[in-house]
Amino acid sequence: MEQPYLIFVKLFEAIGLGNFAQAYPHVIYSWVVMIILIALSVVAAKSVTLIPSKAQNVFEILISGMEEFMIEITGEEGRWLFPLIATVFIYIFVANLIGLVPGFMPPTASLSTTLSCALVVVIFTHVIGIKYHGAAYIKHFLGPVWWMTPIIFPIEIIGHVARVLSLTFRLFGNMMGHELVLMILFGLAGAFFAPLPIMALGIFVALVQAFVFFLLSIMYFAGAMEHAH
């Protein structure tokens, strides 16, 4: 999908990196998202106080609420996974949101970005399984009785590959679809009033898609931690 004007692509063109910028705008805007998150993290860390401000109270409630939601699914032993899954959620949410800013594109409207997020989650799922079960983790793929292994094992492999595809295409499809609708409205009705309802809806879409990715990731992690039956 071609954007009418991308600020950072034009900036890269101005410094002689136009070919890279045109070929990989999603990479550039992934960097932008990471820089934004790092800067906000530094500012937030410096502003933390023993007597929290109103903003600190709000963010503490939100973060603790996400953590408790995860603990209800994974159990207390899954608490150590929260930094990773919260980072994925925040990255995807902000990456979705910046597409609403004129001159920006959501990196999650690229298959490369969504695939990289999905691979992180699915690969780490197996890391968790090996951490908790060691070599016995293979039992998750073999089925309840040995004579069903030739049937169950291929199904399990296909299922785990499908997890990557599901996470990748669900997020990509929704964000790409939203961008296409915005582009069509910009072209048909101008750059102001007509797209505003869709842009407002875009905030909701950004949050829902980040939460769905967050929820599915937690479920995969919890499944890897369970004992095979």
Measured between alpha carbons, how far apart are the two ends of the chain, in Å?
46
pLDDT tens-digit profile of 138-169? 888 887 777 788 888 889 899 999 999 999 99
- Say whether pTM exceeds 0.95: no
Give residue 1's pLDDT band: very low, low, confident or very high (50, 70, 90).
very low
Number of H-type helices and E-type strands within the chain:
8, 0
Q: What are the C-alpha distances in Å from 158 to residues 33, 40, 97, 147?
A: 33, 40, 33, 19
Structure tokens at 207: 């949050």
pLDDT tens-digit profile of 75-114? 888 899 999 999 999 999 999 999 888 778 899 989 999 9
SS3 at position 48: coil
**CA–CA gap between residue 14 and residue 11 (Å, rounded):** 5
pLDDT tens-digit profile of 178-205? 777 777 766 665 555 555 676 777 788 8
